[in-house]
Chains A and B, each alone.
Chain A
Amino acid sequence: MRWYWIVLLILPPLAASFLLPPFGQRLVTLVGIYALMGVGYQRVFGQLGALNLAQGALFGVGAYAVALGAPTLGSFAFAAAALAAIVVAAIAAVPILRLQSHYFALATLALASLVNLVAIHAESLTGGANGTVGFGASLPRGVPLLLGVWLCLVAVVLAQAYYFAGRRGEAARLIREAPLVAATLGIDVPRWRFAAFVLSAAAAGLAGGGAAAVSGVVSPDVTGFPIMLLCLTSVVLGGARHPMGAVVGAAIAVCLPELFRELNGAWLLAYALATLAVVLFAPQGIAGLIDPAPAPLPPRMPDRLMPSTSGRHLVLRDVSKSFGGVEALSGVSFAVARGEIVGLIGPNGSGKTTVLNVISGLERADGGTIELDGRPLERLPPHVIARRGILRTFQTPLPGESRLAGIARAVASGATFLLFDEPLAGANAAEQAELVALLGHLRTAGYGVLIVDHDTELLSKICDRMIALDRGRVVA
C-alpha cells in the first residue's frame, strides 16, 4: 500500500482527537464505523464478487447486541456484537453460500428482510418500533470510542491489504471470475466463501456496535435497507477492490450530507447519482482512479519443471455417466501412467469433455471407479482431487488471457497428472510448437498427460498412445 494511504488512515483519528470539537469527532467516528463495515463488505463483494445484501442487517444485529449487552457486559458488549453477527452469518451461510450470483443476492435480501421484521415485531427483545435506549451510559464515548473504532479499522485495512497482495489476491480473482477453474486448481471455494462471509459479518457487527454507542439509541432503522444501500454505494464509490476504497467511500458518505445540509434529503439523490456514474464510467472507484491496481500478471510457464513425485497410475474402470436419459459415458475404462502422453479422440458429443469433468470432480460418475494409485477419487470434491495432483484445463481461456495461460497455470501448480481439453483448438502455429515442446519436457520430467482433441493427425504425432471414444464408449 502506498505511503499516502497510510497517512490518510492514521491522520484523521489523531487530528480529530486533539483538534476537533465533539461534533467533528463524532463525524470522524462515524466515518470509521461505516468504513469498518465497508472493509468487511469488500471481502465478499469486492474480492469474491458476490452481491451480499445482508451486510446492513448484520450491522443491525451488532447494534442490538450492544444495546442489549451493554448494561451487563460494559465494553465487552462490542465483542458480543461481533460474535452475534458471526453467529447469524454462520447459521445463514449453510443454505446461502452454495447459491450462485442472483440466488445469493436474493437469499441475502430475504435474510436481511427477516432480521428487519424481527427487529420491528419482537417487541419484548428489541423494544419494537420505538427501539431501545438507556444503554449508552455503560459504554465508552467521545475520544476513546473514536480511537477504538479507528484502531480496529486500521488493523483490518492493513491486514486485508497484506492478505490479498500476492497469491491469495490471484486466488480471489479466479474465484470471482471463474469459480470452476478455481476449484480445479485446488482452491477450496466453499471455504473461501464461508471465511469471507463470516469475517465480513464480524466487521459489520462491530461497526453496528460502534454506531449504537455513538447514538445511544437503537431502533429497527439500523437493520433497514438504507444502511445496506449506504454500505454498498460507498464501497462502489470508493473502490470495491482497492484496500482504501471503503474508507474513501465512507468519508464521502458521512461528509456529503454535512456539506449539503440545506438540501435536506437531496444528498441521498446526489449520492445515488454519483454511484451510478462511478459504476458506468469508473468501475474501479475513486481510490482506484487515484491509485490504479496493477494488471494481473499473465500466468507464465515455469522455467524448469520439477520432477513430479506423487501418484503413479490414474485408472478409470467401467465409468458411466448419463444426463437425463442420454448416456454420455458407458463402461469407459483406461489408464494413464506417469511419463506417458495419452490422446483422447472422438467426434463431437462422444463424451471426451465429460471424461475430463468426471475425473476432475466437476461431474459425479453414475457408476464405475476412478483411482489414483488405488485410492478412489470419484466421490471427492474438485479442489481435493486437484490437490492430489490431477489438474485440468478448460477450452475457453479467461477473458484477457492467452490460450496457453490456463496450461501454464496447471503446469506451474506442480500437479502430476495434467488433463488438457482441446489445447490446440484455434491455436496458431507458434502456440502449437510451444505446446508440443512443452509436452516433450513434461514426458521427460515424468508427468502424465491426457489430451482431448479432434485432430487425430496432430495427436498421433505427439502422443504415446491414443484412445478413441465414440458415443460414450471406448472403441480403440
Chain B
Amino acid sequence: MAYALVALGFVLALNASGAVNFAHGGLVVLGGAVAVLADLWTGLPGPLLLPLVMLLLGVAGIVTARVAIVPLLRRPPEATFVATIALAAIIEQSLLLAMGNAPRTAPPLAGSGATEIAGLSVGRQPLAIVIVGAPLIAAVWFLLERTQVGRRMRAVASDRYAARASGIPVDRYIVLSLALAGALAGVAGQLLGHQFLVVPTEGGGHMLRAYIAVALGGWGSIPGALLGALGIGVFETLVSSWLGDAWASAALYVAVLAVLSLRPQGLFGEPVGRRA
C-alpha cells in the first residue's frame, strides 16, 4: 500500500511534467526524516504528525517544481531527468549531513500488536496503513476525475500546449500536481519509515520501484501504476520467501528487462501514440 502511494505521487508528477522526477524517492525519504524530527521535537502521536508531514512535503514538492521542472519545460525531457537527479543528490546529501548514516524509525500510526477482525488477527500497523492509504488514493481519484481542478490537471498532463491554448495556467497546475505528489510522498515516507526505517540513501530504491511500477503499469496510467506497485509488492514478497531478499530484487530487475524487451510499451500499453 505504501508503494502504491509512492507510485501514485510519481505518476502525478510524471503526467504533469512529461518527464521522470528522479527526486521523488528523495521526497519519500525526506517525508520519513521530517516525521522523525517532528516526533523528536513535538512528541505528538503519529496520526497527528501525518498532516504536518504532508504539508511540509507539499511545500517540498512545490520547490521541486519551481526549481527543477517548470524552468525546463521547453527543453528535452533529459534536462529534467538530470535536474531532478541533481535534486535527489542534494536531498540525500543534506539528510546525510543532518542525520548521519544511522537509520531512524519514524513514529508509528498505531500501537503495535494485533486486532481481531471477524475472527482474523490483523496487525494494527498494517491496518492503519490501509486506513490512511485507501482514502488518500480514493481522494486523489475523486480530485482528478470529478472536479474541475482535476480535469485541468489531466488536460495539462495529456497535452500541455493545447491546455495552454485553452487558457489554463499550465505552470500553476504543474506546481499543484507536484505539491500533491510531494504530500503523497510524505505520507509514504512516514509509513515506510516506520516499517523499514528511514535511511537517507534509500531514496534511489523507492524511486526505482515507483519507476518500475509505472513503466509496467502503462506509462502515465494511474490505475496501471497502482496495479504495478501492488504487483511489485506481491512479487517481492513471494520471491524473497523463496530466494531471499537480495535475489528477489535481482529477479525483479531481470523481470523488468524481460518485460521491456518483449513489450517495449509496458505490460498494459502506452495511451499516447508516437508522433512524427
B260 contacts partner chain A, Cβ-Cβ < 8 Å = yes
Given the complex of chains A and B, what is the CA–CA distance between A271 and B256 in angstroms? 32
A interface residues, how many (CB within 8 angstroms): 49
Interchain CB contact under 8 A, B212 and A232: no
Given the complex of chains A and B, what is the CA–CA distance between A102 and B260 in angstroms? 12
Interchain CB contact under 8 A, A279 and B86: yes
Interface set, chain B 248-268, CB cutoff 8 A to A: 249-250, 253-254, 256-258, 260-261, 264, 266
Interface set, chain A 244-282, CB cutoff 8 A to B: 265-266, 268-269, 271-273, 275-276, 279-280
Interchain CB contact under 8 A, A109 and B208: yes
Given contacts A117-B246, A120-B246, A283-B79, contact A109 B89 (CB under 8 A): no
Contacts of A225 in B (CB 8 A): 204
Interchain CB contact under 8 A, B256 and A105: no
Given the complex of chains A and B, what is the CA–CA distance between A51 and B83 in angstroms? 12
Interchain CB contact under 8 A, B85 and A232: yes
Given contacts A232-B82, A279-B82, contact A113 B208 (CB under 8 A): yes
Given contacts A111-B253, A117-B249, A265-B93, contact A275 B211 (CB under 8 A): no
Interchain CB contact under 8 A, B215 and A103: yes
Given the complex of chains A and B, what is the CA–CA distance between A117 and B251 in angstroms? 10
Interchain CB contact under 8 A, B211 and A233: no
Given the complex of chains A and B, what is the CA–CA distance between A290 and B213 in angstroms? 42
B interface residues, how many (CB within 8 angstroms): 44
Given the complex of chains A and B, what is the CA–CA distance between A275 and B87 in angstroms? 9
Interface set, chain B 53-104, CB cutoff 8 A to A: 67-68, 71-72, 75-79, 81-83, 85-87, 89-90, 93-94, 96-97
Report A44-84 CB contacts with B as 1/0, cut-off 8 Å: 01000101000000000000000000000000000000000
Cβ-defined partner of B257 (8 Å) among A96, A101, A118, A120: A96
Contacts of B81 in A (CB 8 A): 51, 105
Interchain CB contact under 8 A, A106 and B215: yes
Given contacts A51-B81, A265-B96, contact A276 B68 (CB under 8 A): yes
Interface set, chain A 28-58, CB cutoff 8 A to B: 45, 49, 51
B219 contacts partner chain A, Cβ-Cβ < 8 Å = yes
Contacts of A177 in B (CB 8 A): 76
Interchain CB contact under 8 A, A394 and B276: yes
Interface set, chain A 269-314, CB cutoff 8 A to B: 269, 271-273, 275-276, 279-280, 283
Q: How many A-B residue pairs have CB under 8 A?
A: 127
Cβ-defined partner of A99 (8 Å) among B79, B83, B253, B260: B260
Shortest beta-carbon distance from A357 to chain B in Å: 8
Given the complex of chains A and B, what is the CA–CA distance between A273 and B88 in angstroms? 10
Contacts of B96 in A (CB 8 A): 265
A236 contacts partner chain B, Cβ-Cβ < 8 Å = yes
A94 contacts partner chain B, Cβ-Cβ < 8 Å = yes
B197 contacts partner chain A, Cβ-Cβ < 8 Å = no
Report A90-122 CB contacts with B as 1/0, cut-off 8 Å: 001011101111110111011101100110110
A158 contacts partner chain B, Cβ-Cβ < 8 Å = no
Shortest beta-carbon distance from B256 to chain A in Å: 5
Interchain CB contact under 8 A, A95 and B261: yes
Interchain CB contact under 8 A, A101 and B78: yes
Given the complex of chains A and B, what is the CA–CA distance between A257 and B90 in angstroms? 16
Contacts of A120 in B (CB 8 A): 246
Contacts of B94 in A (CB 8 A): 269
Cβ-defined partner of B85 (8 Å) among A98, A106, A180, A229: A229
Given contacts A266-B97, A269-B97, A272-B93, contact A362 B86 (CB under 8 A): no
12 contacting pairs across A/B (C-beta < 8 A): A92-B257, A102-B20, A107-B260, A110-B257, A233-B85, A233-B86, A268-B93, A271-B89, A272-B89, A276-B83, A280-B67, A280-B83
